[in-house]
Every structure is written in structure tokens, then in C-alpha cells.
């Protein structure tokens, strides 16, 4: 099969590699249809690493994808041949202490697509995944939308972790794909139908309340440096969008929101935006760290954080939110189509990576059609 293989820093080649095959009865052979280019893929392309995760060449990257089921193992019931699916790139063991705590996203034996040392990626024609990672679209969303379920699931999970109160005032710093996915998730006024409580899980579900995401935000202030992304955030319905290169965004937001915001989502991974979040938060507010910094350490204005008694919440990808992301798109509560700005073929993958790396041509999400 054809695969795009990283061969060195800023080097990739289209190669012929062996096609994978079903090994376990729970495996599904998938024909990849669409792959979204993610900032983390570009980190690996440009620098060969993210923190302690270092690429060993040759290596196939990519983790945001939709696919069609080509073959299934003997015990697979969740999908059948021909089904279109969104793929959860995280293969967790369900056996370690973290999995047993329900924290599959920090599984000790995690195999995540396109993560060095864990699994090869999906920038190729075929991959094999366990059936539980395959989410059939049932025709409710397109293959392009299905490829956006993974980044949207991170936005949905971030909003869930923030436990927004009703009519919260929030700030989202950074309007790239993850910032926008966080915004559309927060905006989606989404109340779950009352679930039948399983025995024993009553107290947990009750403490989470019925609303899975938010009960609607009152105001959402966003900041971004790239003009096209500012326009995208405005079009998506942000209350106010500012450019920190051109204006004092902290002053302007605090003019509108003198007490500060309840929750600040950091989606840029920059020291500057982390500092701005701290300035923008009201006492007792929550700082949600989603962006991936390019450096190993950041500094925190601890005096301000302490005096304001700010809660810091880190987001590690997502946990059990892929189906939710798909439902949000299918129901029309969330629109992700406006984020897709560019489309490439597998042969043009390097062009797509360069475009995203350089933030050129107003790119938000670039998709590669396999
Ligand atoms: Zn991603
Ligand atoms: Zn595990």
C-alpha cells in the first residue's frame, strides 16, 4: 500500500509499504479516507519530537482520520464491511490502573496512532484498529466531518472538564482548530436526555449533572493573531475577537468583563497566552491548559494565581468523547465545516504540512484525501 513516511527532519516520502492485516478477532481493517493535519503531526515533521516522544525514522504520522471498513475479525459486531467510520486514534489496554480508574486517555500501555514509540499513523491506505475505536457514522455525517471528530472530541472534553456554570463568561486564547473546536463545544447548548442510571453509578452521574457540555455560555472572548482565524472565530459566533499584536486584549476584555472571566481556555501553548489567561480570570476561576507548548517548561505568575485561588486543569487529549463529538455534528448543534480550509491528495502531503507549519494562506484545518 501507499504510505507517506517521515524520513528525517522536514523530510517525507511516498513509499510502498506492506499492508497490515487482521490479527485478533476484535480487529477491523480500515481503508483510510480522510486525514486531518494536526499541529502535533507538524511538530514531529519539523522537529522530530514532542517532549520525550522522539521519532525513529522511517515513521508514518497522522492520527485524525475517517475510514471505510474493509474487513472485520470473527467477533466484531460494532461495524460491518462497507461502514463509514470516525476513528478514535487511542488504543487503551483496559487493564492497567489508569484504565480501571476510567482514565483511558492516560493508559499506561496506550497505543496512539502517529505517536512515536506507540503506533504508526494513518497517512497511508490501510490500518488495523480494534472495533471499539471505530465509530460508525450511519450516514449521519460526511467522511470529512468524521475526520474532524477527533479534534472536536478534544474541544468537547475540555468543556466537559471545565464544568461550566450556567451562563458562564469564558475566554478562549488561540483560534486554531482546537480553539475553535472548544468554542463550538462551549456554544452548543447541550443537555443529555436523562440517562437510565446503572446501579452503583448513581452518585457519580448525579454529581456530573445532566448537562454533558455546557448550559450555554453568556459571553465568549477569543484572541488570535492570524487574520483569517479571527474572521473564522467571528463568523462562528464569538462575542468578541481580538488580536494581541494590535491591541491590549487583556485591557479590552476586562473593560467588558470587569470581574474577569469564569474560565479561560489556553489553546495556543504560548507563555504569553498562559499569562494573559491568568490576568483575565476572576478569583476562583479556572485555567484550562489545552495548547501544547513547544518548550518543556513554562512559568506561571504564582503570586497572582495564588491570590486569585485559580484552579489549573490540564487536558490530555480526550476521554470517551468521540461519540459525543459525532452526535454534536450529526444533530446540527455544532458546525465544523467552516474549519476545513484546504484539501490535498496523499501525494501532496508535504505541501499540506508546509502550509500548516507556516500558518500560510489562512489555513485552519487541512485535509488529505487518501
Ligand atoms: Zn490532533
Ligand atoms: Zn490501560
Distance, CA of 328 to CA of 154 (rounded, Å) = 13
Which ligand approaches the C-alpha of residue 319 most closely?
2
- CA 102 to centroid of ligand 2, rounded, Å: 9
Report whether pLDDT(279) > 90: yes
Which ligand approaches the C-alpha of residue 103 most closely?
2
Q: Assign residue 277 a region: left if phi > 0, alpha if psi is -120 to 50, beta otherwise?
A: alpha
- CA 35 to centroid of ligand 1, rounded, Å: 10
User: What is the chain's mean pLDDT, rounded?
Assistant: 93
Q: Could you say which DSSP state residue 59 is in?
A: B
- CA 202 to centroid of ligand 1, rounded, Å: 33
- CA 118 to centroid of ligand 2, rounded, Å: 13
Radius of gyration of the chain (CA): 20
- Mean pLDDT of the region 19-23: 98
Report whether pLDDT(196) > 50: no
Among residues 210, 231, 216, 211, the alpha carbon closest in space to that of 338 is found at: 231
Query: Angle, nearest 10°, between helix axes 249-256 and 271-280?
Result: 20
pLDDT of residue 282: 98
Pairing outcome for strands 281-289 and 311-314: parallel
Give the range among 138-152, 192-206, 248-262 with minimum mean pLDDT. 192-206
Among residues 53, 71, 57, 64, the alpha carbon closest in space to that of 5 is found at: 57
CB of 75 within 8 A of CB of 23? no
pLDDT of residue 51: 86
- CA 317 to centroid of ligand 1, rounded, Å: 8
- State in Å, rounded, how far the first CA of the chain is from the last one: 11
Among residues 105, 106, 113, 104, the alpha carbon closest in space to that of 40 is found at: 113
pLDDT of residue 348: 98
Strands (E), 131-289: 134-136, 168-173, 217-223, 240-242, 261-266, 281-289
- CA 151 to centroid of ligand 1, rounded, Å: 6
Among residues 71, 76, 86, the alpha carbon closest in space to that of 20 is found at: 71
Which ligand approaches the C-alpha of residue 37 most closely?
1
Compute the CA torsion angle 191, 195, 198, 199 (nearest 10 deg): 80
Report whether pLDDT(236) > 60: yes
pTM recorded for the entire structure: 0.92
For 78-103, the pLDDT digits (tens) are: 999 999 999 999 999 999 999 999 99
Exposure letters 289-328 (e unless 16+ CB within 10 A, then b): bbbbbeeeeeeeeeeebeebebeeeebebbbebbebbbbb
For 157-194, the pLDDT digits (tens) are: 999 999 998 889 999 999 999 999 999 999 986 544 43
Residue with C-alpha cell 479571527? 230
- CA 114 to centroid of ligand 1, rounded, Å: 10
Distance, CA of 61 to CA of 42 (rounded, Å) = 9
Which ligand approaches the C-alpha of residue 178 most closely?
1
Distance, CA of 266 to CA of 305 (rounded, Å) = 15
- CA 80 to centroid of ligand 2, rounded, Å: 26
- CA 236 to centroid of ligand 1, rounded, Å: 21
- CA 49 to centroid of ligand 1, rounded, Å: 15
Report whether pLDDT(206) > 50: no
Amino acid at each position: 500500500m501507499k504510505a507517506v513516511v517521515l524520513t528525517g527532519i522536514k523530510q517525507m516520502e511516498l513509499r510502498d509499504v506492506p499492508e497490515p492485516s487482521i490479527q485478533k478477532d476484535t480487529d477491523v481493517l480500515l481503508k483510510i479516507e480522510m486525514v486531518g493535519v494536526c499541529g502535533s503531526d507538524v511538530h514531529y515533521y519539523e522537529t522530530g519530537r514532542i517532549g520525550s516522544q522522539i521519532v525513529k525514522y522511517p515513521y508514518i504520522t497522522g492520527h485524525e482520520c475517517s475510514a471505510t471498513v474493509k474487513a472485520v475479525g470473527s467477533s466484531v459486531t460494532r461495524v460491518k464491511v462497507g461502514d463509514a467510520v470516525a476513528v478514535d486514534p487511542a488504543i487503551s489496554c483496559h487493564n492497567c490502573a489508569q484504565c480501571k480508574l476510567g482514565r483511558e486517555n492516560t493508559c499506561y500501555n496506550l497505543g496512539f496512532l502517529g505517536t512515536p514509540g506507540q503506533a504508526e499513523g494513518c497517512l497511508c491506505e490501510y490500518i488495523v484498529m480494534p472495533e471499539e475505536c471505530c465509530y460508525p457514522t450511519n450516514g449521519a455525517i460526511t467522511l470529512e466531518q468524521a475526520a474532524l471528530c477527533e479534534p472536536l472530541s478534544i474541544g468537547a472534553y475540555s468543556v466537559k472538564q471545565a464544568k461550566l456554570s450556567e451562563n458562564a463568561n469564558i475566554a478562549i486564547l488561540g483560534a486554531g482548530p482546537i480553539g475553535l473546536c472548544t468554542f463550538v463545544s462551549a456554544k452548543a447548548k447541550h443537555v443529555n436526555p436523562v440517562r437510565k442510571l446503572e446501579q452503583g453509578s448513581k452518585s457519580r452521574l448525579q454529581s456530573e449533572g445532566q448537562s454533558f457540555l455546557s448550559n450555554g455560555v453568556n459571553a465568549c472572548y477569543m484572541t488570535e493573531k492570524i487574520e483569517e482565524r479571527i474572521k473564522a472565530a467571528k463568523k462562528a459566533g464569538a462575542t468578541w475577537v481580538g488580536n494581541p499584536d494590535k491591541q491590549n486584549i487583556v485591557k479590552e476584555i476586562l473593560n467588558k468583563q470587569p470581574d474577569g472571566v469564569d474560565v479561560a481556555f489556553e489553546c495556543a501553548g504560548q507563555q504569553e497566552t498562559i499569562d494573559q489567561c491568568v490576568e483575565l480570570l476572576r478569583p476562583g476561576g479556572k485555567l484550562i491548559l489545552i495548547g501544547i507548548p513547544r518548550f518543556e517548561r513554562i512559568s506561571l505568575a504564582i503570586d497572582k494565581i495564588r491570590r486569585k485561588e485559580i484552579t489549573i486543569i490540564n487536558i490530555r487529549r480526550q476521554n470517551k468523547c468521540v461519540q459525543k463529538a459525532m452526535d454534536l455534528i450529526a444533530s446540527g448543534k455544532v458546525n465544523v465545516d467552516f474549519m476545513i480550509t484546504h484539501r490535498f491528495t496523499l501525494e501532496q502531503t508535504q505541501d499540506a504540512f508546509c502550509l500548516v507549519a507556516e500558518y500560510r494562506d489562512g489555513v485552519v484545518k487541512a485535509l488529505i484525501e487518501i
